[in-house]
Structure 1
Amino acid sequence: MPHPYLSTNPPCVVCRRSDTSTRHQVDDELDQLVCDNCVGDLPECERCHATVLTLITVADERQLCRTCTSAWVVCVSCRGLTEPHVRTDTGDSVCSRCAAVFFDLCLTCSRYSASSRYVSGGSRACTRCAAIYDSCPACGTLLRAGRGCDPCARRNRVWNYSYKPDPIFHGDGPLYLGLELEVIVPDYQYDDCVRAATDHLGDLGYLKQDSSIHPLGFEVVTHPMSYRHAIERFPWRLLGVLEELGCETDRTVGLHVHASRDGFDSPAHIYRWLKLLYRNESAVTTLARRRSRYAPFDRAARVKARDTAKGPQHALGLARYQAINPYPRKTLELRVFASSLDVQCVQAALAFTAASIDYTRGLRVADVRAGAWEWSAFAAWVTTQPDCQPLAAEMEDLACAC
């Protein structure tokens, strides 16, 4: 609408020209006047549809005006503006996107928590509400009144894909690795395979359902382990037992390794690690023994590596199923490997994850300029590390040792 109070035409705030055309008020401010020629080019708020000079990109990536966001607050996770309706157990506000991806809903207080605990029966409790529960004397799982501990009572079972118990850390950190090994299991031996796997794993891991495994199978999931603990204490004999029972692996099933973010020195260290893998896609996929649509080297993720190294909240909008999944709150998930029941292959996947992190830990600009990001430099370094023997042997067998 034309501005009702001014009989003369001040300069348009967009083109800065004074002419006889009608002036339009925008941004709810009397001094923000725009001429007829410019008003049609101004953006529109996606919520109230008002024409304004500038819009604000909020947490869910909508473009809104200042009026619509005047009472909004900053999301504690992504730092974007959000309505103050979704609260966390710390009293902060979180946007709906971050709440869905990085937080768990506490069943007791109905607030979202970034550090929730598993409650026997399948619910979650925030750190504050966890204090009202009893704990299992054997494993520490939180117990609801009148209920037993399902992890202890149901050891010989395959849990739902969403099952996420409290982590039990094995070995010395700060770098911990979590193994996820997908296995194809024959129907006629399924119960025997489940029993064998759970008996061998003990408190080191558990089994989960995975609908991507065809025709039937389960995923062997370990609790966080140091690399040394994994090599020395994982029940490697289990792989041969499963094979004897008729289990198989192929390129349709994967081996994923989670690496704890606390095992990196800094976001810059994570960035150097991402760069090493992205720059050597061909060699990494050779070592991984597959290319998979569930673990592609995503171009968008490569471009945003510097941002996503700062934390999972900076990865919103990227694909989850890619070579390196950045979304877990406390880990980075390396998804490239084909699954295997061969001990050397599985140990090499763990060794590559740990070795590539250690290799990039001390890289400096001068090292990079001297070729440190080249696969040949990394491969030569691997041969000097006694702990990397499974990786060195696998690289030699797959002809990617140089």
Structure 2
Amino acid sequence: MPCVDCAADIQTRDGEVCETCAPLNHSRCVGCGELYRDGSDCDRCTTCDRCDATVRESETVETTRGSTICALCRQHWYWQCGQCDGWNRDGADCGNGCCDPDVCDCGECRRDELGGLVHDYYYKPPPVFHGTGPLFLGPEIEIETPDCSERECAEIAYSHLADLGYLKLDSSIGNGFEIVTHPMSYEWAMANFPWQMLTRLRESGCEATENTGIHVHLSRAGFDSPCHIYRWMKFIYRNEPQVKAVARRSSDEWAAFTDDDRKAVKDYAKGARGGRHRAINTNNHDTFELRVFASSLDPREVKAALGFAAAPVEYTRNLTVHTIANGGWTWPAFTGWLAEQPAYQPLTQQLEELQCVC
């Protein structure tokens, strides 16, 4: 078969383009692996509206609100209506109007019961930055509330947060919500986060259970370069036991450390996307999401979590090849540096308490 580009009567690549012409004017689809001509799109694949992954169109569904969703997102973040079989976001009512307000427990109906204090999972207002960068942190603290007290607890959290953040529903939480803040620098958060809110919620019966966690978003703009991102990710993945000890949990379901992710660090540093439920979620356009932490309503533990979100970024910012070759990625090297950084005292104190583990 002749090459469609140069007409050479030789063995063609994918039955269309010869080995010489293919790299010059074709790209390989990351969804199906087939070649397509530059300037056009693969006619077999499409983009997931939720995670932006390129996937085979035959493996997607369209939601009741018109979004195209891949199989992985459908599995983790959507539900299928028993009346019309339509697919909907977790926590949202059926877009085809099948919900019965008297018996439905979807996010739309729950939000009405909570007086509008708690938004659905996909609520994301424009960010308001607090403090001075370059690194900004955006914590999400998941909590369980006592039966019949969800609205009372939401009122407590809402009154303390004011304009700093908001509350959202999450399908992984039974009775409860997650507390989300706008981006903060570490120093600003230590001085201005409403720490008393955590104490008040705990006194009201709220809990941090094994089903809840703390996820901290770190601004991609807070890193100097792809090399800096690479050094930071390598440090996190090379010190898995110590990171899990500091995080106070190990979760293959929600914050997995995998061999595939360790091998893909260089690609992630250059902008590639990976799985969502990983120790470091790389799927967000503007942030990395560090998902490793157990939830807590103890201000000391939350301060230590924010400290560990920020400190390794600063530690790896100026690591040289020489320093790395002489143990710069090791845990003792990091803790030695940390001991000379008074700003991270809450983290240092927690490490002293965990000395037998770390």
The whole-number CA distance in structure 1 between the counterparts of 2:210 and 2:334 is 26
Verify: 1:281 aligned to 2:281, yes or no.
no
Percent sequence identity is 45
| Corresponding position of 1:356 | 312
Q: Which of 157, 161, 169 is residue 209 of structure 1 equivalent to?
A: 169
Q: Which amino acid is the alignment partner of residue 230 of structure 1?
A: A
Deviations 1:26-48 (A, max 9, x none): 546543235xxxxxxx664xxxx
| Corresponding position of 1:272 | 231
Q: Which amino acid is the alignment partner of residue 259 of structure 1?
A: L
| Corresponding position of 1:170 | 130
8 A Cα contact 1:209 1:218, kept in partner:
yes
Q: Which amino acid is the alignment partner of residue 349 of structure 1?
A: A
Tell me the CA shift for residue 101 of structure 1.
Answer: 3.0
The whole-number CA distance in structure 1 between the counterparts of 2:48 and 2:9 is 35
8 A Cα contact 1:60 1:97, kept in partner:
no
| Corresponding position of 1:13 | none
| Corresponding position of 1:397 | 353
Deviations 1:261-284 (A, max 9, x none): 111111100100001100000000
Equivalence map 1:224-303=2 (5 Å): 224-292=183-251, 293-303=253-263
The whole-number CA distance in structure 2 between the counterparts of 1:98 and 1:269 is 29
The whole-number CA distance in structure 1 between the counterparts of 2:140 and 2:267 is 26
Verify: 1:184 aligned to 2:144, yes or no.
yes
The whole-number CA distance in structure 2 between the counterparts of 1:274 and 1:28 is 43
More helix by share: 2
SS at match of 2:270: coil
Q: Which of 20, 31, 35 is residue 61 of structure 1 equivalent to?
A: 31
Verify: 1:97 aligned to 2:56, yes or no.
no
SS at match of 2:229: helix
8 A Cα contact 2:245 2:357, kept in partner:
no
**Relative contact order, higher structure (CA 8 A, sep 6+):** 2
Tell me the CA shift for residue 62 of structure 1.
Answer: 2.8
- Cα gap change, 1:28/1:274 in structure 2, threshold over 3 Å: closer, same or farther? closer
- Cα gap change, 1:376/1:330 in structure 2, threshold over 3 Å: closer, same or farther? same
Deviations 1:139-185 (A, max 9, x none): xxxxxxxxxxxxxxx99611000001000111111111001000011
- Cα gap change, 1:400/1:235 in structure 2, threshold over 3 Å: closer, same or farther? farther
The whole-number CA distance in structure 2 between the counterparts of 1:183 and 1:99 is 28
SS at match of 2:166: strand
List alignment gaps of at least 5 residues for structure 2: 54-113
Equivalence map 1:373-384=2 (5 Å): 373-384=329-340
- Cα gap change, 1:156/1:102 in structure 2, threshold over 3 Å: closer, same or farther? same
The aligned length equals: 292
8 A Cα contact 1:283 1:375, kept in partner:
yes
The whole-number CA distance in structure 1 between the counterparts of 2:207 and 2:4 is 64
8 A Cα contact 2:115 2:151, kept in partner:
no
8 A Cα contact 1:58 1:82, kept in partner:
no
The whole-number CA distance in structure 2 between the counterparts of 1:272 and 1:30 is 47
RMSD: 2.5
Verify: 1:32 aligned to 2:32, yes or no.
no
The whole-number CA distance in structure 2 between the counterparts of 1:298 and 1:97 is 25
Deviations 1:239-265 (A, max 9, x none): 111011110012321101111111111
| Corresponding position of 1:339 | 295
Tell me the CA shift for residue 25 of structure 1.
Answer: 3.5
- Cα gap change, 1:60/1:158 in structure 2, threshold over 3 Å: closer, same or farther? same
| Corresponding position of 2:57 | none
Q: Which of 319, 328, 338 is residue 275 of structure 2 equivalent to?
A: 319
TM-score, normalised by the number of residues in structure 2: 0.76
Q: Which amino acid is the alignment partner of residue 131 of structure 2?
A: G
Structure having the higher Rg: 1
Tell me the CA shift for residue 100 of structure 1.
Answer: 4.7
Q: Which amino acid is the alignment partner of residue 182 of structure 1?
A: E
The whole-number CA distance in structure 1 between the counterparts of 2:278 and 2:148 is 33
Tell me the CA shift for residue 302 of structure 1.
Answer: 1.2
List alignment gaps of at least 5 residues for structure 1: 1-23, 35-41, 45-49, 74-80, 85-94, 104-153
